[in-house]
Structure 1
């Protein structure tokens, strides 16, 4: 079957996850013709912790998403941090820039809500469209994408002067431009499973367990944490994330590690019982700390996981995907309004610097943090000594969740913001 060229758009966005839908929303709001291509059909499952910090909530509110409990969201007021000896409940900080609550909701319909918000703004959503590669003009600049459409995999070409890659950790679009993953940047792995759990499903706090040990190697403390996030519907999301900075990273069976950790939870929670599980254990990679750069090249912008934008401190990706989509849309709109190709290209080339200004110093700090806690003795010191000080843990919460006011704020805000300013950007 011959490939045919579909009608053009101003911008093609590849992937209707949080980053792609946010980019499409903000582009459409600016009056641009946006084609949002998604390989699956909604609703669809996606591996995630399903817990949202106030930073993610702020990104949702900016898009006009109704985050009320009556609209299917489960609210939480902070983070409960657990070790063998100490449990601390830390409320989300009160800030001007962010709400004082977090949320949880499964990705089964979360992404669909955001994609439909983009459609309401004027974007054209097309599902069951598997983008396979970018297309190039004679100068080697991206000018569209090739895709397989529908169940019959009909080959189609879509043209646009700009493509935004939001295709996730696989980075297929970026790889086509020779943008390979950097091995010197952090990487993580996460696994999760749903359980029915009456004791925890409507918890007021997200829960983080800092001591992860496998039954086969109980003396080694893994650089990461386990989580229990209540979903408000009788279920919880139980999972863990581990960083690649430990010597045993490649050897650990993370699915078994999850089961070993859950075996240490109270018996009355029912998390040791396979009959309470709702579905299999699923896993995914976490591309962190800008591990794929540059974020713009030859007519293509990278956002979210495709650009390695997961927070190295806590593994959060949704907030940063949506924020990068917002920034990309602003840059793209200015570029496409330029009256010449050189001016358009000059505007697009500002995108990497803007992303770096937004997160570069913080992510460099995160990279240092990842290397430090890769040493079991450092991880042990952090958990055993840090948990003894509520004040210190409040500071750690702000740092790890990237929750500060840019102007003013308290002493903790000023310290964290100052560290970001003086830390060289990635």
Structure 2
């Protein structure tokens, strides 16, 4: 199709965050272009797990029945340090079930929902630069097979993932002194592909039997396969010096008999994840970063789909509240901090502690012996405390988060001019 030359709302990146934003904006009556560097269906390195919070967002998009038809899970089966616990999703203000759908299928379906609502899709267009009009972005320059193309816009939403090429052009900076994630996943056939629980092994061991500051997972996809992966935490001071491909092979060998794995792990892909809002420069006069591009990834489990869907929806509501003249420079970071700041702050602090050598081997056995403690851990680590929840755990989590925020030298979503210590990107 012919690439449009202008639009009201231009969204770069058609993953969950970008497609959710496009669907919301189109429903609100905006002219929307949803552009992506890939041609769909396309893959993305991800665990493919859908928490109840993500399920709730998919229901908002009218995809509840669709995702439910691809299999449900009841909660988390946590293993490690000689213990095995089956922990149901807590429910409450959120659905009491989760899911898992390969990203090749999930992202294609969410994108289709946006196009069905009236967004115009552009594929195979890689955003490489912006055109400016004073402090506003006037358009985005794309590299396509037919040469460069520019799409003019009044407002821009950037949802191009953790690396965020366009975010770097706009001034996004990733601060690596807080915890970040290093992970890899693959797919393998399994005789237990329809298991009712997602499984996490909290005692992840390396080739020399050392305990790593991370976890392994097996997520049933209900299509003959499971998503199998490993993830570890790191900081600038304590980097993760591991070989992900050899680690995932080692982990799969440990799980082979129990999960009835057949053949070799295929389609291995890895990712480096900014977490907990550890990026500055997430907004300007008429543009905003959402999802992974804004560092909206849970520091305790690497989950980002729910945040992507939520931030895509929320940014459009902010645009719609003030019309074309809404200034997002301060409003969007403030909105992100209001929704996620306290939870990200305390989660980053806990994740940083987990990178401390010898802490997990000492604390892990203690935690795994308490079902009550692990039930609380599932809720807070799984991002399952919402603003509507008023129980003791929710209140305590929010209180701890606010205290953590007050002590932060680098708060989540810091000011755009805060540059040190940081890595561009």
Q: What is the TM-score when the length of structure 1 is the normalising length?
A: 0.90
Which residue pairs with 2:31 in the alignment?
33
Give distance in 1, aligned partners of 2:362 and 2:347: 18
State the SS of the aligned residue for 1:160. strand
Which residue pairs with 1:166 in the alignment?
159
State the SS of the aligned residue for 2:358. helix
- Post-superposition Cα deviations, 1:72-125, rounded to whole Å, max 9, x if no partner, equal x110000000014100000000212x1000001101111011111111222111
- Post-superposition Cα deviations, 1:270-313, rounded to whole Å, max 9, x if no partner, equal 44xxx613523211112211122232124320001111111101
- Post-superposition Cα deviations, 1:152-195, rounded to whole Å, max 9, x if no partner, equal 34211100121111011122112112222112232211101111
State the SS of the aligned residue for 1:76. coil
Q: What is the TM-score when the length of structure 2 is the normalising length?
A: 0.90
Match of 2:119 among 114, 120, 123: 123
Match of 1:234 among 224, 239, 262: 224
- The 1:86–1:116 alpha-carbon spacing in structure 2 relative to 1, beyond 3 Å, is same
1:97-112 equivalent positions in 2, closer than 5 A: 98-112=94-108
Give distance in 2, aligned partners of 1:178 and 1:351: 15
- The 1:80–1:391 alpha-carbon spacing in structure 2 relative to 1, beyond 3 Å, is same
Give me the CA root mean square deviation: 2.0
Give distance in 1, aligned partners of 2:267 and 2:356: 31
State the SS of the aligned residue for 2:314. helix
State the SS of the aligned residue for 1:79. strand
Q: Is the contact made by 1:373 and 1:379 (CA closer than 8 Å) also made in structure 2?
A: yes
Which residue pairs with 1:341 in the alignment?
none
- Match status 1:291 vs 2:278: yes
Match of 1:212 among 184, 187, 204: 204
Match of 2:377 among 377, 386, 396: 396
Match of 1:13 among 11, 14, 20: 11
- Post-superposition Cα deviations, 1:115-146, rounded to whole Å, max 9, x if no partner, equal 11111222111112121112212x24311100
State the SS of the aligned residue for 1:375. coil
- The 1:252–1:32 alpha-carbon spacing in structure 2 relative to 1, beyond 3 Å, is same
Q: Is the contact made by 2:24 and 2:313 (CA closer than 8 Å) also made in structure 1?
A: yes
1:263-412 equivalent positions in 2, closer than 5 A: 263-265=253-255, 267=257, 269-271=259-261, 276-277=263-264, 279-338=266-325, 344-345=326-327, 349-407=330-388, 409-412=390-393
Give distance in 2, aligned partners of 1:132 and 1:115: 22
State the SS of the aligned residue for 1:423. helix
Q: After TM superposition, which residue ranges in structure 1, 4 or more long, deviate above 4 angstroms?
A: none
Q: Is the contact made by 1:245 and 1:370 (CA closer than 8 Å) also made in structure 2?
A: no
Q: Is the contact made by 2:36 and 2:126 (CA closer than 8 Å) also made in structure 1?
A: yes
- Post-superposition Cα deviations, 1:24-60, rounded to whole Å, max 9, x if no partner, equal 1111111111110011111111111111110110111
Give distance in 2, aligned partners of 1:52 and 1:408: 20
Give distance in 1, aligned partners of 2:6 and 2:349: 44
- The 1:99–1:9 alpha-carbon spacing in structure 2 relative to 1, beyond 3 Å, is same
Give distance in 1, aligned partners of 2:125 and 2:305: 22
Could you tell me how far 1:68 is from its partner in structure 2?
4.8
Give distance in 2, aligned partners of 1:76 and 1:34: 35
Which residue pairs with 1:87 in the alignment?
84
Q: Is the contact made by 1:9 and 1:159 (CA closer than 8 Å) also made in structure 2?
A: yes
- The 1:177–1:246 alpha-carbon spacing in structure 2 relative to 1, beyond 3 Å, is closer
State the SS of the aligned residue for 2:254. coil
Give distance in 2, aligned partners of 1:184 and 1:52: 28
Give distance in 2, aligned partners of 1:393 and 1:99: 20
- The 1:84–1:186 alpha-carbon spacing in structure 2 relative to 1, beyond 3 Å, is closer
- Unaligned stretches of 5+ in structure 1? 339-343
- The 1:110–1:269 alpha-carbon spacing in structure 2 relative to 1, beyond 3 Å, is same
Give distance in 1, aligned partners of 2:30 and 2:138: 16
Which residue pairs with 2:63 in the alignment?
65
Give distance in 2, aligned partners of 1:161 and 1:93: 42
Give distance in 1, aligned partners of 2:258 and 2:365: 26
- Unaligned stretches of 5+ in structure 2? 406-410, 413-425
Q: Is the contact made by 1:6 and 1:156 (CA closer than 8 Å) also made in structure 2?
A: no
- The 1:337–1:157 alpha-carbon spacing in structure 2 relative to 1, beyond 3 Å, is closer
Aligned length: 406
Give distance in 2, aligned partners of 1:352 and 1:382: 35
